[in-house]
Amino acid sequence: MRRSDGARVAIKIAHLATTTTARRFAREARALEQLAGQAVPALLGSGEDTNRRPYLALELLVGTTLADELAAFELPPGEPWAASRGAQIATALARLHRRGVVHRDIKPENVFVEATRIVLLDLGLVRIPDVSEALTRAGAAVGTPAYMAPDAELGPAGDVYALGVVLFELITGRLPFEAEGPALELAHRALRPPRPSAFSEVSAELDDLVIACLAKDPARRPTSDELAAQLAQLGERARTAPRVTLAPPRVASPAQGVPPEPLALVQLAYGRRLTELVKLVARHHGVLVERDDHAAVFAFPWLACDHPMRSALAAAASALAAGFAPILHLAPAIAQRNARGQIIVQLVEPGTGSTWRPAQADGTSIMLTATAVRALPTDHAAADAGDGYYRVVEPESIVDIEPTLVGRDELLQAAVTYLRRAVAGEESLLVLSGDAGTGKSRLLREIIDEATRIHPEISVQRLSGTGELAVPTIDSPHLVVLDDGHDASPALLDAIEAVT
């Protein structure tokens, strides 16, 4: 609350007091002052707290984020809503661009929806005129990878690309590229994005406009003003169009000569949370193959993942943690890529999901059919759950035995190389990614052992995705190891960025 007039305000405060965060907050304050509340929160004050952490006092917004709006939908909300909401965001973005300001981190979490306007949040990465100092290392990525343009330098066209990704998500309920780490960066740089029409019913005009936003060449993308005008027109035209329904990618027929193969399937009851479920399973490379009014079935083909059953188990575990009731099955299907490079899966016996669905979902463990039990990895086991079903259990011996690390020599050597560079004064970041159960945590333990052997004086801080970073001292090498990074909070990631 502001003392001068009692007005309620929102306070944005840095997690750590560092030179970088101070400069970043100062830059954000300057951008907010320059924009004077146009499409951004009004700046009411700034300064440092008693711990010298910079803060901004902002107008208190009333509404919700676009991310929360999307999460509340059972299905993608339809073309009229998507186009109209997209036009509002593009209009707000155009106001920044006319002032020479580039946001550089457009995503649903940074779009706030009030009753009468769209507000763009988090200008910590913003680029503003007449300010040239770099707040990131040369060559470092700026923004959120899933929405980041492949441009060498992120200008206004980079914001349009990010908005194109958001539009794709509004229309289909998923991202154009479902990958992580280097694979995601490569997809944005080199792969042709799928059309929204491959996943949802959408007009040809909006389909083409989204693809234009996602053009690899920045010069081929519309400006934010052009995008706002076209989206507003499409939104008005589509108001009487039928409601969008989420469906698997369409394919005319399986390629002749492609044999069926047993595929791991996960079935989940979704209630009113199908969009959330599709996003969750896509992170584990699951492909939606069919759904009815109660449940959706996802397949995990070899084309999409190195270890399909492990990916299915990881997806089931994530779904279980999110409150869904998963059941695994194995059934013959044909998996292939269509002309656009998308993976298409067709079950040999479609519409049979209800035949292997339990009468009552368990909701406390991952359930399996007898067929799926026979395909379990050797480090998993199943217990009889009655009525012909089983539940996943992990034998105690698996927890107690530490297997010998095999086949990871090159990865371990690469990690040691990064470690030596860091100790020599070069900032280094090493990211390990892979499906659950493929040995990432085991390899991290080996890296820590090797680090302490090479540098006995090194201090090691090992964190899980839900941990908190203790600020390290600067008088000795410090190794920060983050396991389960996909669960890390924004605060933890910000803290790691600040100290590195």
- pLDDT tens for residues 353-371? 778 888 776 678 899 998 8
Tokens for 329? 């099955």
pLDDT band at 130 (very low <50, low <70, confident <90, very high): low
Helices 156-172 and 204-213: angle between axes, nearest 10 degrees:
140
Q: Is 105 a catalytic residue?
A: yes
- 262 bridge partner residues: 332
The predicted pLDDT at position 378 comes to 75
pLDDT band at 110 (very low <50, low <70, confident <90, very high): very high
pLDDT band at 461 (very low <50, low <70, confident <90, very high): confident
pLDDT band at 288 (very low <50, low <70, confident <90, very high): confident
pLDDT band at 253 (very low <50, low <70, confident <90, very high): very low
Stretch 62-91: mean pLDDT: 87
Q: Which amino acid is at 37?
A: G
Among 131-135, 251-255, 290-294, the minimum mean pLDDT is found in: 251-255
Separation between Cα atoms, residue 344 and residue 90, nearest integer Å: 33
The predicted pLDDT at position 409 comes to 67
The predicted pLDDT at position 169 comes to 92
Stretch 136-140: mean pLDDT: 46
Q: Give the mean pLDDT of the chain.
A: 78
pTM above 0.75, yes or no: no
The residue behind tokens 């929102």 is 10
Tens-place pLDDT, residues 172-229: 888 998 777 788 888 898 888 989 988 888 899 999 999 999 999 999 999 999 999 9
pLDDT band at 272 (very low <50, low <70, confident <90, very high): low
Angle at 221 between CA 219 and CA 226, to 5 degrees: 120
Tokens for 169? 């998500």
Dihedral over alpha carbons 286, 292, 293, 297 (to 10 degrees) = -20
Tens-place pLDDT, residues 140-172: 456 789 999 998 788 999 999 999 999 999 998
How many other C-beta atoms lie within 10 A of the C-beta of residue 90? Answer: 28
pLDDT band at 332 (very low <50, low <70, confident <90, very high): confident
Stretch 77-88: mean pLDDT: 91
Higher local confidence (pLDDT), 238 or 373: 373
The predicted pLDDT at position 73 comes to 75
- The catalytically annotated residue of 49, 68, 105, 122 is 105
Tens-place pLDDT, residues 42-55: 888 888 888 889 99
Q: How far is CA 410 from CA 161, 210, 306, 413, 414, in A?
A: 36, 41, 19, 5, 6
Cβ–Cβ < 8 Å for 181, 431:
yes
Contact residues for 390 (Cβ-Cβ < 8 A; gap 6+) = 367, 368, 369, 370, 372, 373, 382, 383, 384
pLDDT band at 373 (very low <50, low <70, confident <90, very high): confident
**Among 102, 95, 239, which Cα is nearest to 162's?**
102
Of the chain, the percentage scoring pLDDT greater than 70 comes to: 75
Higher local confidence (pLDDT), 152 or 238: 152
pLDDT band at 291 (very low <50, low <70, confident <90, very high): confident
Separation between Cα atoms, residue 416 and residue 413, nearest integer Å: 5
The predicted pLDDT at position 471 comes to 58
Q: Longest C-alpha distance within the chain, in Å?
A: 77
Separation between Cα atoms, residue 279 and residue 57, nearest integer Å: 34
The predicted pLDDT at position 222 comes to 97
3-state secondary structure the chain: CCCCCCCCEEEEECCCCCHHHHHHHHHHHHHHHHHCCCCCCCEEEEEECCCCCEEEEEECCCCEEHHHHHHHCCCCCCHHHHHHHHHHHHHHHHHHHHCCCECCCCCHHHEEECCCCEEECCCCCCECCCCCCCCCCCCCCCCCHHHCCCCCCCCHHHHHHHHHHHHHHHHHCCCCCCCCHHHHHHHHHHCCCCCHHHCCCCCHHHHHHHHHHCCCCHHHCCCHHHHHHHHHHHHHHCCCCCCCCCCCCCCCCCCCCCCCEEEEEEEEECCCCHHHHHHHHHCCCCEEEEECCCEEEEEECCCCCCCHHHHHHHHHHHHHHCCCCEEEEEEEEEEEECCCCCEEEEECCCCCHHHHCCCCCCCCCCEECHHHHCCCCCCCEEEEEECCEEEEECCHHHHHCCCCCCCCHHHHHHHHHHHHHHHCCCCCCCCCCCCCCCCHHHHHHHHHHHHHHHCCCCEEEEECCCCCCCCCCCCCCEEEEECCHHHCCHHHHHHHHHHC
pLDDT band at 480 (very low <50, low <70, confident <90, very high): confident
The predicted pLDDT at position 158 comes to 95
- 460 bridge partner residues: 479
